[in-house]
Chains A and B, each alone.
Chain A
Amino acid sequence: MNTSQLFALAPWVVLIPVIALLINLIVSGRLGEKFAGILASSAAALSFVVSILLAIALGSDPMGSTISLGTWINIGNLSIDWAFRVDTLSVMMMLVVSGVGTLIHIYSIAYMHADVRLNGDLKRYTRFFVFMNLFIASMMLLVSADNFLMMFVGWEGVGLCSYLLIGFWFEKGKDGTANAAAGKKAFITNRIGDFGFLVAIFLIYWNFGSLQFDKVFSMAPMVATAMPGAALAITLFMLLGVTGKSAQLPLHVWLPDAMAGPTPVSALIHAATMVTAGVYLVARSAPIFSQVPGGQTAVTWVGTITALFAATIALGQNDIKKVLAYSTISQIGYMVAAVGMGAYVAAMFHLITHAFFKGLLFLAAGSVIQAVERGEEAAHSEEIDPQDMRQMGGLRKRLPLTFWTYLIGGLSLAAIAPLAGFFSKDEIVAYASANHAAVFWILLIAAFFTALYVGRQISMVFLGSPRSKAAGHATESSPTITVPLVILAVLAAFGGVLNLPGLQWLETWLAHTFGTVAPSQFVWLVALGSLALGLVGLAIGWLIYGRTPVKVGKPDPLKKPLGFIFTGMQNKWFVDEIYNFLIITPFNALAQFFAGPIDLGSIDRVANGLASGTQAVAGGIRKFENGFVRSYAFWMLLGLAAIMTYFILR
């Protein structure tokens, strides 16, 4: 069989989840939780199988293909197809999305079983899997699109799923509105980014006359020299889109709040896949970015600063998921910095390993949270926040499997050799050391902070002795939860093989899409230096937090030596407050002004005046309608007389 025929399967990566979610919608839980969960998981798994088949086809025909399903828009000289692009980059993303997605789907079968019972609405079990499949479909659309507009459809689709799933328990949270508010915040913040991406799309169409990738990319050098301003604007607006979707400065504020969603959502959408869409966008648009040094610099610095900024905040958090959320922002900062510098392969490598170890960490955190909830129930203890790390401790013995997987994920995140994270992060840092000295140092400091908060978190959660009854009675999760953890742990441990220095499979693979890529370097000094830095960070974290357990109400041990700096970390450097003061408060005041004096005072008064005026006039006219036929005849005749008068006077 000719393997290139397999390319025609590409649309099915999107269609399979759509079909599954439609079935789930129609059945709507009548066949039980098992059915919904297994159907959704197998849809994700089938998507994965299709992705593998596409990868096999690419193995023999690495230039890929484009599968068009027909014309979508045809207006004037704008012609856009529903076309799926199969090349090494898109298939790599498909594999990550559907692979990690499948594991998380399976994990969710058990996790959501407990979650819907805890939150008291069994009906939402099916709904969860419908949303999850919708997400897989949208994400697949995003990565397999062959033009910017179709990509935007997926881009919006994942944003919608993100919104739906953050607000999955929309009536829960603080004051019963916190979760809904978190969803809203994510959506609105993303709108700002989407606006940027949309403007970029418009500009691309305006300057290139097409939205199809190949056409745009082939014209990129010409346009960049002819209209450098337009090219710079395109890259900068795209960067705005990236900051929104990938939670980079200054639009990162939504991601920590997005942790209000169920933990599998945080793992799949807000760690492994969706938030990396921005990185994918820049990598996909590499031919444009590589022509615009200014845009590249901007991207690099946004990523670099975000990496450090978020890493410092992660150190000050006490919520197990918030730490991971800021860690995600920071790690995506690395990727963005890498794509900005032109190290596309390194960025994609880190994207893959990050999907492994961050997905693992979130899933393991979910396992911890539910274990604590179970312990809470078993110990009949007072209500505690099951995500508060200060209430944990000593879980190493209660949850051995979760602990070991978490440890592997954490060490991978801290870039400890020979785990996956070490190789991918090292590739970025090594590239920076050769090209951007300042970026290199900042990323190195961020790496130190990363190791520090990883050490802190593992110490607080798993080491020492239990600091609450609930933690003392926690029990290990079921195999449905732990098996995906183990698989992901294996991937997080050995994922580095993908682009091992010397082998560089990923580089060869992606070179078919990116053209010639700068070969990644492996600098022994940098590698050993950052490894040492990571180990030191971990050790410091353990020294501070492993020996003196942090309890609720007591200040953090870092508070004293760092002072106001730590206060800033704890309070996320007050970004939310600054936005509140600078944007939201004035905006609300303006809205109040428009609602009060303008709308109620003027517009409504005019409208009401018109209404009452009409009423008064109608009341007057109403007198003519006295019900006497002869009166009506009189008015008719009057009209006749008037017409005749007109003819006389004419």
Chain B
Amino acid sequence: MSGIPLVYYLGLAVILFSLGAAGVLIRKNALVVFMSLELMFNSANLLFITFSNYYKALDGQILVIFVLATAAAEVAVGLALMVAIFRSKGSIDLDQMNKLKG
């Protein structure tokens, strides 16, 4: 097998990242925004793995493991926050969370 050009993978990562960013900007539902964040993590992970292969170095894969762990922690706290907010406001609409507006 001859392999696939590096740029294809990079382009794919860029597109996935942009889609994640669009999700953050467009959706009001806090849960969906969260999922979009995961999507962006994912695209970063894809880059790590790609370059790990390209440079034949395992370190990229190790970093992905760390990202995975951190993402898990972030989701745990984020979802707990979400639950707490839902309890006090009765909604997870991000646009209603503007109490700190100056």
Contact = CB atoms under 8 A, between A and B. Distances in A.
Interface of A: 622, 625-630, 633-634, 637
Interface in B14-48: 21, 24-26, 28, 33
Contacts, number: 28
In the A-B complex, the 6 residue pairs with the smallest Cβ-Cβ separation, listed nearest first, are: A627-B101, A627-B98, A634-B25, A633-B24, A628-B95, A629-B94
Interface residues of B, number: 14
Nearest to B18: A637
B100 A627 contact: yes
B79 interface: no
B25 A630 contact: yes
The secondary-structure label for the interface of chain A is helix
B102 interface: yes
Given A633-B25, A634-B25, A637-B21, A628 B100 contact: no
A622 B25 CA distance: 20
B51 to A, nearest CB: 19
A625 B94 contact: no
B58 interface: no
B77 interface: no
B97 A629 contact: yes
A622 to B, nearest CB: 8
B15 to A, nearest CB: 15
A627 B101 CA distance: 4
A637 B25 contact: yes
A332 B97 CA distance: 84
B97 A626 contact: no
A633 B26 CA distance: 10
B100 A630 contact: no
A633 to B, nearest CB: 5
Given A633-B24, A633-B25, A637-B25, A626 B94 contact: no
B94 A628 contact: yes
Nearest to A629: B94
B101 A625 contact: yes
A265 to B, nearest CB: 60
B29 to A, nearest CB: 11
Contacts of A637: 21, 25
Contacts of B24: 630, 633
23 contacts: A622-B102, A625-B101, A625-B102, A626-B98, A626-B101, A627-B99, A627-B100, A627-B102, A628-B98, A629-B94, A629-B97, A629-B98, A630-B24, A630-B25, A630-B26, A630-B28, A630-B33, A630-B94, A630-B95, A633-B24, A633-B25, A637-B21, A637-B25
Contacts of B94: 628-630
Contacts of B100: 627
B10 to A, nearest CB: 14
A584 to B, nearest CB: 53
A449 to B, nearest CB: 79
